[in-house]
Chains A and B, each alone.
Chain A
Amino acid sequence: EVQLLESGGGLVQPGGSLRLSCAASGLTFSNFAMSWVRQAPGKGLDWVSAISVSGGSTYYADSVKGRFTISRDNSKNTLYLEMNSLGAEDTAVYYCAKDAAYGSYFDNWGQGALVTVSS
């Protein structure tokens, strides 16, 4: 059974930084592209970033480009999201999601990590 477990969420001040991790198990992690998707309070799902199987290609929503960095360590079966210059608009539950194949659907999701940006 595929399991994705996010960690690293919490309360951070505006302008601050945070790193989320997503530990994967039950799959050959290095075979799958991965994404981060977030949901702000009372809002819908919002794709944030994606990374290729090797980590050599990364993609970002315009709203986070230049502030967020996605990466992965295939030896540790872990996906990361480094978030800098955080603002109130980044407050959300962040989900890691496994791509069934690059440019396809998300067939497995983590339980989510809450990031709250507030002073």
Chain B
Amino acid sequence: EIVLTQSPDFQSVTPKEKVTITCRSSQSIGSSLHWYQHKPDQSPKLLIKYASLSISGVPSRFSGSGSGTDFTLTINSLEAEDAATYYCHQSSSLPWTFGQGTKVEIK
């Protein structure tokens, strides 16, 4: 099973700051890595597909990079509505797995 490890687990950030979340895979997964935003009492929302590809309707301040085993989600100029937990997810091999999540709090 491929294990995804995110860092940090928690981040408290002021508005307009830049947020960087990393996701490390226990084995190489190419670019089969996707990012989701999950807010309480809502369903998860796809942010980035295949490591760096943008999703229609997602604000341009969200971007992704990386390949192989190391990936990054960047939120440029954080807004209050970005308070959420962020998850990476690999679709390289079954079982599909998620990172443990990174909670972003707005100061």
The answer to the question of B15 belonging to the interface, with a C-beta cut-off of 8 Å to chain A, is no
Count B-side interface residues using an 8 Å CB cutoff: 24
Tell me the nearest residue of chain A to B93, going by C-beta.
A103
Inter-subunit contact A50/B101 (CB<8 Å): no
Interface presence of A45 (CB below 8 A): yes
**A100→B49 contact, CB < 8 A:** yes
Confirm or deny: A44 has a beta carbon within 8 angstroms of a beta carbon on chain B. Answer: yes
Name A's interface SS: strand
When distances are taken between beta carbons in the complex, the residues of chain A under 8 Å from B62 are none
> Which residue on chain B has the smallest CB distance to residue A106?
B46
A103 touches B101 (CB 8 A): no
Interface size for chain A: under 10, 10 to 19, 20 to 34, or 35 or more residues?
Answer: 20 to 34
Q: Return the contact of B100 from the options A44, A60, A103 (Cβ within 8 A).
A: A44
Whole-angstrom distance between the Cβ of A71 and the nearest chain B Cβ: 18
A105 with B44, Cβ < 8 A, contacts A44-B98, A47-B96, A62-B95 known: no
Q: Which A residues between 90 and 111 are near B, CB-CB below 8 angstroms?
A: 95, 97, 100, 103-107, 109-111
The CB with the most chain A CB atoms within 10 A, among B43, B87, B100, is that of B43
Task: Identify 13 new A-B residue pairs, CB closer than 8 A, beyond the known A59-B95, A60-B95, A106-B89.
Answer: A44-B98, A44-B101, A45-B36, A45-B101, A47-B97, A62-B95, A95-B43, A95-B44, A100-B49, A103-B32, A103-B91, A106-B44, A107-B46
Give chain B's interface residues, CB within 8 Å of chain A.
1, 32, 34, 36, 38, 43-46, 49-50, 85, 87, 89, 91-92, 94-101
Supply 11 A–B pairs (Cβ within 8 Å), ascending by A: A35-B96, A44-B98, A45-B38, A50-B94, A62-B95, A95-B43, A104-B34, A105-B34, A105-B89, A107-B49, A110-B43
